[in-house]
């Protein structure tokens, strides 16, 4: 159950964060206004905040919206933590793609969003793969949000579930090591699947 919860939260948060960070990275790369520069600076500044500092505001917001003990809430929390760095990563990849390619597509009849999805995004596959690996590792290794925002054992993630093998007076080393080894397999598979794009 914990492994399935972790897989679900990881895939959900990566999907949410990839869409947002791809659009944000494109925006930071293509539009050079003061508002864009300020938004980029805020994104960079928010990356410097540790998760332990933002977990209490998240807890208050999620309580207000009824997202406590929800896997969807964990997806949103992990996506929010991963988006700033992934946006800057995607900006770097979009900066390497000449804007003239998109302009040529728009001359041929594409709308601006269509040029983004048909020209820029396919050329940016290595950046998307790198961002997916980063976001996947961040979501997979999450402990702070998973421990604070979820209290039902049926909704625990693997990182929180591993704590149950550590008792007050003893540690079930066999189960802890087995579960720890099991938790490495999906991350290795993620790297193997995305390695051709890197």
Q: Provide the pLDDT for residue 174.
A: 86
CA 44, 46, 50 angle in degrees (round to 5)? Answer: 125
Residue 13: name the closest of 96, 70, 94, 60 by CA. Answer: 70
What secondary structure does DSSP assign to 81-109, as a single string?
HHHHHHHHHHHHHHHTS-HHHHHHHHHTT
Q: What is the pTM of this model?
A: 0.86
Distance of CA 116 to the CA centre of its chain: 21
Render pLDDT for 42-64 as a digit per residue (tens, 0 to 9).
Answer: 888 887 888 788 889 999 999 99
* Interatomic CA distance for residues 14 and 134, integer angstroms: 9
Q: Provide the pLDDT for residue 128.
A: 92
Render pLDDT for 86-96 as a digit per residue (tens, 0 to 9).
Answer: 999 999 899 99
* Interatomic CA distance for residues 136 and 139, integer angstroms: 5
Q: Provide the pLDDT for residue 182.
A: 85
Distance of CA 180 to the CA centre of its chain: 22
Q: Can you read off the two tokens belonging to residue 167? A: 């008792």
Contact status, residue 87 vs residue 24, Cβ threshold 8 Å: yes
Q: Provide the pLDDT for residue 62.
A: 92
Q: Provide the pLDDT for residue 33.
A: 81
């Amino acid at each position: 159950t914990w492994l399935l919860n972790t897989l679900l939260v990881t895939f959900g948060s990566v999907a949410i964060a990839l869409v947002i960070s791809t659009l944000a990275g494109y925006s930071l790369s293509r539009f050079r206004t003061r508002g864009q520069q300020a938004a980029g600076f805020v994104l960079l500044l928010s990356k410097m905040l540790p998760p332990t500092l933002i977990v209490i505001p998240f807890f208050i917001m999620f309580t207000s919206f009824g997202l406590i003990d929800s896997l969807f809430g964990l997806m949103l929390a992990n996506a929010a933590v991963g988006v700033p760095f992934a946006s800057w990563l995607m900006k770097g990849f979009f900066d390497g793609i000449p804007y003239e390619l998109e302009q040529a597509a728009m001359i041929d009849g594409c709308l601006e969003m269509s040029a983004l999805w048909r020209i820029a995004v396919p050329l940016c596959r290595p950046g998307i793969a790198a961002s997916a690996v980063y976001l996947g590792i961040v979501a997979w290794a999450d402990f702070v949000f998973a421990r604070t925002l979820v209290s039902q054992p049926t909704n625990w993630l693997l990182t929180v579930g591993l704590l149950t093998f550590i008792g007050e007076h003893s540690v079930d080393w066999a189960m802890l090591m087995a579960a720890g080894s099991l938790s490495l397999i999906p991350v290795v598979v993620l790297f193997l699947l995305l390695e051709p794009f890197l």
